[in-house]
Amino acid sequence: MNKKLKAVIIGPGNIGTDLLMKMQRSEWIEPVWMVGIDPESEGLKRAAEMGIKTCSTGVDGVLENIIADDVRVAFDATSAYVHAENSRKLNELGVIMVDLTPAAVGPFCVPPVNLTDHARNLEMNVNMVTCGGQATIPMIAAVSRVQPVAYGEIVATVSSRSVGPGTRQNIDEFTRTTAGAVEKVGGAKEGKAIIIINPAEPPLMMRDTIHCLTEGEPDQTAITESIHAMVKDVQKYVPGYTLVNGPIFDGNKVSCYMQVEGLGDFLPKYAGNLDIMTAAALRTAEMFAEEAADGTITLPARG
Amino acid sequence: MNLNGKKVTLHDMSLRDGMHAKRHQISLDEMVSISTAMDEAGMPLIEVTHGDGLGGRSLNYGFPAHSDEEYLRAVVPKMKNARISALLLPGIGTVDHLKMAKDCGVSTIRVATHCTEADVSEQHIGMASKMEMDTVGFLMMAHMVSPEKILEQAKLMVGYGANCIYATDSAGYMLPDDVTAHIGLLRAELPSNIEIGFHGHHNLGMGIANSLAAIEAGASRIDGSVAGLGAGAGNTPLEVFCAVLDRMGVETGVDLYKIMDVAEDLVVPMMDQPIRVDRNALTLGYAGVYSSFLLFAERAEKKYGISARDILVELGRRGTVGGQEDMIEDLALTMAKEKGLI
């Protein structure tokens, strides 16, 4: 029996295409459909050339094929505005939704921190937070699992070329959502997020800085060990995730300086911010597939 | 240069840009006494916020002595004629901060982006304009791009609802001819009801000269700070600028002797260090680096034994932009490792 879960990708843009390329290497997820809204879109043409079925009439156009093609998981790389409806329609058919938009209908998912819990609970909609969140929250969690974090702050610096119009039009959503997830997933009592867009050419790699204020004096040995272990966990799905400097201890402050280099599938290597989103989303679906294959969870029944 | 008969609106930065030089530790009493004295001297517009704008409170930029809201609620009710402005950098502050500032009685909001990234300001400029605030688009690090690029970005901000556009020399790198070219093109191409402004830093000693060039090229709002209290070598010193404008026959509405007294009696005694074109501030202007990096680079020098000048020059070479303070310690650590110091 084929253990792979079949998938639909909604949104044939840069993110959707990068996701498709990563998915074609996956042992657990098999891309079947790419859904868009413009029959002329480059992304749909690319997907067709890569041997994927395409649908240019939105999610409604693919619904009748979901059961027939045994699609079990969906990736939404469209926008927060349409996500809730996409999710509702697909959840009704028993499809697990991995949300790469900032809609945050379902709980935040940062794979090395809380993916196992979401998979075991068979959450039907998980949200991938933001690129800055994926790159930094593991580090906040690495500190907070050692000792309480009173305040967690992240600074994400991304190249201008890697920031699309959606993020630009609603940059507050990035800061709010990321700060919220620094608290909810990272475990900091208060969270703060900053995003800086840098137009330098050639484009710079994504850089992320994480500061935590611990309650009480930081346990330097335990925190350092925890951070290095967490970096290794993230590297399993984003090999270019690197601790450039740190952890640096200054009083109760713990600081880490990260760089995120992408795999360069469809998106250039400097766009580690986009790569870490697609890689984390795929890792999320793979975990559901692994848990289903070994019988830990049971996917929604189908006739 | 003949500026006789022109009118300009001066905008004081000592209580916002000056927050950088004070590590954001200006007390409520100092805020109130200085703003009140400036109001008394006829300063029309005074900016009050964290140095990095609304929501700047952070480990990255520094925790302030008080919240933006505390500062604004202390200062605004004390003003007789002066209006209070607040700075907002999208990516750091949000429209929630903007609404708070409006609620505190702030009349002017200045939405600041890097000079090529104006499209991140749509939400904030749109909201401020909808709330009928005096809405300014503030294009930072203007020396990094051509006048044509600044104009393109300015048009975006005007499209979102800004009624005034600034070319901002955040690094104090520009020379008078650069200012003439940037401001001149904005004035020539933007609608006449859109005001043009200039914000200078004194890192190459060009604060006064650049501000005069800006007025000649069509700017009607000029930023400066009393006693020059601002990031780097500070902003255009307003008491000096007032004296120069007075001699050139430019109307500012500011009483020269009174503003000289504010500088000498209130602002200078509050300084933690002299605000002058010292070696590191000069490096900012020479290498084209964001002025608020100064104290961070000096702290990194003390901590890691890497010269602040070397750090600043390398940050300039890398094309670092405003807000990337975190890269200063990161770079110092990397340089210290390379030199075998840690």
For chain B, domain boundaries: 9-270, 292-338
Confidence (pLDDT) at B140: 98
Question: In A, residues 178-237, which contact B (CB 8 Å cutoff)?
Answer: 192, 194-201, 204, 207, 209, 211, 213
Confidence of residue A80 (pLDDT cuts 50, 70, 90): confident
Interface contact A151, partner B, CB < 8 A: yes
Phi/psi of residue A293, each to 5°? Answer: -65, -35
B85 annotated to a ligand binding site? no
As given in the structure block, the two tokens for residue B231 are 């990031």
Asked if residue A229 has pLDDT above 60, the reply is yes
Of the two residues A278 and A104, the one the predictor is more confident about is A278
CATH topology of domain B292-338: Helicase, Ruva Protein; domain 3 (1.10.8)
Range scoring the smallest mean pLDDT among A171-175, B139-143, B207-211, B294-298: A171-175
Q: Is the pLDDT of residue B342 over 90?
A: no
Confidence class for position A303, pLDDT limits 50, 70, 90: low
B173 is in an annotated binding site: no
- Please report the DSSP string for B227-249 in residue order: GG-SSTT-B-BHHHHHHHHHHHT
State what percent of residues in chain A have pLDDT above 70.
Answer: 99
From residue A35, alpha-carbon distances to A11, A31, A63, B319 in Å are: 6, 11, 11, 39
- Mean pLDDT on A249-269: 96
Contact A155 B333 (CB under 8 A): no
Residue B221 has pLDDT above 60, yes or no: yes
**pLDDT 10s digits, B88-130:** 999 999 999 999 999 999 999 999 999 999 999 999 999 999 9
Residue A166, annotated as binding a ligand: yes
The answer to whether the Cβ–Cβ distance between B91 and A174 falls below 8 Å is yes
pLDDT tens digits, one per residue of B303-320 = 999 999 999 999 999 999
Helix (H) or strand (E) holding B98: helix B95-103
User: Which of the 8 DSSP states describes residue B253?
Assistant: -
Cross-chain residue pair A198–B321, CB shorter than 8 Å: yes
Res. A97: pLDDT tops 60: yes
Mean pLDDT, range A251-263, rounded to an integer: 98
Q: Are B161 and B196 within 8 A, CB to CB?
A: no
Q: Is the dihedral of CA A167, A170, A171, A172 positive or negative?
A: negative
Could you say which residues from 84 to 143 on chain B have a Cβ atom under 8 Å away from some Cβ of chain A? 90-92, 94-96, 114, 116-117, 119-120, 122-124
Write down the pTM of the prediction.
0.96
Helix/strand/coil for B7: strand
Q: Retrieve residue B299's tokens.
A: 């702290």
Pairing state between β A149-159 and A206-214: antiparallel
B39 with B254: CB under 8 angstroms?
no
ipTM of the complex, rounded to two decimals: 0.97
Mean of pLDDT over chain A: 96
B276 touches chain A (CB under 8 A): no
CA distances from B163 to B83, B90, B211, B215, B217 (A): 16, 18, 20, 18, 18
Least CB–CB distance from B95: residue in A160, A172, A213: A172
Per-residue pLDDT band at A3 (split at 50, 70, 90): confident
| CB proximity A255 to B under 8 Å | yes
What letter would DSSP give residue B65? Answer: S
DSSP letter for B264, please.
I
Mean pLDDT of A176-199: 98
Q: Is A248 on the interface with B (CB under 8 A)?
A: yes
CB neighbour list of residue B30: distance below 8 Å, 6 or more residues apart: B266, B270
When mean pLDDT is compared across A1-15, B286-300, B326-340, the lowest value belongs to A1-15
CATH code for the domain defined by B9-270 = 3.20.20.70
* Domains and their CATH numbers in chain A: 5-128+278-293 (3.40.50.720), 131-269 (3.30.360.10)
Confirm or deny that B201 is annotated as ligand binding.
yes
The answer to whether residue B72 scores a pLDDT higher than 80 is yes
Give yes or no for residue A1 having a pLDDT over 60: no
